[in-house]
């Protein structure tokens, strides 16, 4: 790829790639992993160790995640999608149930419900943040009651790293006797109500993703945190084919499977990388926060054509670990399509992204539920654009992005 520069590390002779600012002829991606020699060394050690999978590094990584989130239990798995699926299964979501999901999210949040043969009740969001709110949740529950739907659970999404109002949402789910899952794939390392995201104080289960563009990475990977021992035990079992080994007699090789399970395990190799990356999460968060503050200061002059995320809550800035830097652009007043705008930025060697296309508009879901009225989701979608944000960026890179935006406004 032409967005990075190659050079060889002296140790072990391993050739790696490192992003070194934005050279004039390089493309700036919207997101990028931050891998250093420490990461390479610990993965190399895992590769030459006794266990490549189901070994001690899995438990070590889970312990590190428990320490980070202050949750009683952490279970790793193969992806954020797998984490969502396991969470839904552990809570007994099944055919005949409905689960409330915000329309502004990645496909996996809704798809995990369908994996369990349950139905998705899409919920609208705040048009300025893309977040599910107590008001939009109440409206969704009221709609479900009118239609006689059996609501089992609610999945909230901490979009771009900003948290939803968990406290009030928890009160709503308690009154309505609903399970609560937090899709925290964007938010690890952040905090809510002076507690780490993932503590599972208000929600039964948190799910995380360790994809390369997330706050830290295991290559691909995910995890679940909870304070419920039974849920943790069920999730741990389901991620490995739902096998129960019988160690009560001399036939220790025997196992039974009472229900369907999956191979959703995370390997020791990936956990080794996770352990190393997690040690740097605090520094990663600080870097992202500085970059976001600099973006905000530089883009204020373009309001109202560009709206920066600091103009709308809910957030205590320091509590957010910014996964994405998503701004709102009034494309209509600029008389340009977003696609053309993005292409113009690509011509200037700046890649951007859209997070997300409202899931309720996807053909699969329109076939199931028809055309739905989600004005907040559509308004957010029509204006949102994610600019480059990753820890190897420099302020000079942001200056280049800001200059490019100014030329297009």
Q: What's the pLDDT at 253?
A: 79
354 burial (CB, 10 Å; 0-12 / 13-18 / 19+) is middle
Query: Residue 8 pLDDT more than 50?
Result: no
Q: How far apart (Å, rounded) are the C-alpha atoms in residues 376 and 135?
A: 12
Q: What's the pLDDT at 316?
A: 67
Q: Quick one: DSSP state of residue 319?
A: G
Query: Residue 6 pLDDT more than 70?
Result: no
Q: Quick one: DSSP state of residue 281?
A: H
Q: How far apart (Å, rounded) are the C-alpha atoms in residues 88 and 109?
A: 10
**Is 340 found in the same domain as 205?**
no
Domains of the chain: total: 2
CATH of the domain at 332: 3.90.1150.10
- CA 372, chain centre distance (Å): 25
Question: What is the per-residue burial (b if ≥16 Cβ within 10 Å, else e) of 173-205?
Answer: beeeebbbbbbbbbbbbbbbeeebbbbbebbbb
Percent of the chain surpassing pLDDT 70: 92
* Tokens 């001690």 belong to residue: 56
Tokens linked to 146: 């009118």
CATH of the domain at 57: 3.40.640.10
Residue 363 neighbours by CB under 8 Å, 6+ apart: none
Query: Residue 62 pLDDT more than 70?
Result: yes
**Is 212 found in the same domain as 81?**
yes
Query: Residue 12 pLDDT more than 50?
Result: no
Q: How far apart (Å, rounded) are the C-alpha atoms in residues 359 and 377?
A: 9
Which has the closest alpha carbon to 210: 151, 149, 276, 150?
276
Listed residues 278, 301, 330: the one ending a domain:
278
**Is 231 found in the same domain as 208?**
yes
84-112 confidence digits (pLDDT tens):
999 999 999 999 999 999 999 999 999 99
Listed residues 227, 246, 278: the one ending a domain:
278
**Is 312 found in the same domain as 258?**
no
Find the mean pLDDT for residues 165-189: 98
**Is 107 found in the same domain as 200?**
yes
**Is 175 found in the same domain as 250?**
yes
Helices (H), 176-210: none
- Among 11-15, 31-35, 362-366, which stretch is predicted with the lowest mean pLDDT? 11-15
Find the mean pLDDT for residues 195-206: 97
Which has the closest alpha carbon to 266: 99, 109, 54?
54
Contact 200, 87 (CB under 8 A): no
**Is 307 found in the same domain as 243?**
no
**Is 232 found in the same domain as 343?**
no
Q: How far apart (Å, rounded) are the C-alpha atoms in residues 185 and 274?
A: 15
Q: How far apart are the first and last CA of the chain?
A: 30
CB atoms within 10 A of CB 73: 21
Find the mean pLDDT for residues 148-159: 98
How far are the Cα atoms of 13, 59, 340, 382 from residue 336, in angstroms, in the given order? 49, 51, 7, 12
12 burial (CB, 10 Å; 0-12 / 13-18 / 19+) is exposed
Residue 87 neighbours by CB under 8 Å, 6+ apart: 112, 181, 205, 207, 224, 235
Strands, sheet with 384-387, edge to edge from the N-terminal-most edge strand: 306-307, 325-329, 384-387
Q: Which domain holds residue 375?
A: 5-33+281-408
Contact 263, 252 (CB under 8 A): no
Query: Residue 55 pLDDT more than 70?
Result: yes
Can you give the pTM of this predicted structure?
Answer: 0.93
345-398 confidence digits (pLDDT tens):
999 999 999 999 999 999 999 999 999 999 999 999 999 999 999 999 999 999
**Is 203 found in the same domain as 223?**
yes
**Is 320 found in the same domain as 219?**
no
Query: Would residue 388 be called left, alpha or beta, if left means φ above 0 and alpha means ψ between -120 and 50 degrees?
Result: beta
**Is 258 found in the same domain as 287?**
no
- CA 32, chain centre distance (Å): 15
**Is 215 found in the same domain as 181?**
yes
The average confidence (pLDDT) of the chain is 93
Q: How far apart (Å, rounded) are the C-alpha atoms in residues 13 and 16?
A: 10
239-261 confidence digits (pLDDT tens):
999 998 876 667 777 888 999 99
Find the mean pLDDT for residues 61-83: 98
Q: What's the pLDDT at 11?
A: 38
276-319 confidence digits (pLDDT tens):
999 999 999 999 999 999 999 999 999 999 999 999 865 566 79
Q: What's the pLDDT at 24?
A: 54
* Tokens 């002779």 belong to residue: 13
Q: How far apart (Å, rounded) are the C-alpha atoms in residues 209 and 186?
A: 7
Q: How far apart (Å, rounded) are the C-alpha atoms in residues 333 and 59?
A: 53
Listed residues 278, 296, 325: the one ending a domain:
278
Determine what percent of the chain falls in helix, strand and coil, rounding each to the nearest 5: 40, 15, 40
């Amino acid at each position: 790829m032409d967005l990075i520069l190659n050079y060889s590390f002296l140790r072990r002779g391993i050739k790696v790639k490192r992003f070194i600012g934005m050279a004039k002829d390089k493309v700036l991606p919207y997101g990028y992993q931050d891998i250093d020699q420490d990461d390479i060394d610990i993965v190399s050690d895992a590769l030459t160790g006794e266990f490549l999978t189901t070994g001690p590094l899995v438990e070590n990584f889970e312990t590190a995640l428990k320490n980070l989130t202050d949750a009683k239990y952490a279970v790793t798995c193969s992806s954020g999608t797998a984490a969502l699926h396991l969470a839904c299964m552990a809570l007994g979501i099944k055919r005949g149930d409905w689960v409330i999901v915000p329309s502004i999210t990645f496909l996996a949040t809704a798809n995990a419900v369908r994996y369990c043969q349950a139905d998705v009740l899409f919920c609208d969001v705040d048009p300025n943040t893309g977040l599910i709110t107590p008001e939009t949740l109440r409206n969704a529950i009221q709609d479900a009651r009118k239609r006689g739907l059996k609501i089992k659970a609610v999945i909230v999404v901490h979009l771009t790293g900003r948290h939803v109002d968990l406290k009030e949402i928890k009160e709503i789910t308690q009154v309505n006797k609903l399970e609560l899952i937090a899709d925290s794939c964007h938010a690890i390392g952040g905090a809510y109500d002076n507690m780490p995201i993932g503590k599972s104080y208000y929600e039964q289960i948190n799910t995380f993703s360790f994809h390369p563009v997330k706050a830290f990475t295991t290559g691909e990977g995910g995890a679940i945190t909870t304070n419920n021992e039974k849920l943790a035990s069920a999730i741990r079992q389901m991620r490995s084919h739902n096998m129960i080994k019988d160690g009560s007699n001399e036939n220790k090789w025997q196992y039974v499977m009472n229900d369907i399970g999956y191979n959703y395990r995370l390997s020791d190799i990936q956990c080794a990388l996770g352990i190393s990356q997690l040690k740097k999460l605090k520094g990663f968060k600080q870097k992202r926060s500085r970059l976001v503050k600099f973006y905000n200061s530089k883009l204020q002059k373009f309001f109202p054509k560009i709206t920066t995320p600091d103009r709308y809550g809910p957030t205590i800035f320091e509590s957010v670990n910014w996964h994405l830097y998503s701004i709102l652009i009034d494309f209509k007043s600029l008389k340009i399509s977003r696609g053309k705008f993005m292409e113009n930025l690509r011509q200037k060697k700046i890649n951007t992204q859209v997070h997300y296309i409202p899931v309720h508009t996807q053909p699969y879901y329109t076939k199931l539920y028809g055309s739905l009225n989600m004005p907040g989701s559509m308004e957010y979608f029509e204006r949102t654009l994610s600019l480059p944000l990753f820890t190897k960026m420099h302020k000079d890179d942001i200056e280049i992005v800001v200059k490019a935006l100014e030329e297009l406004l």
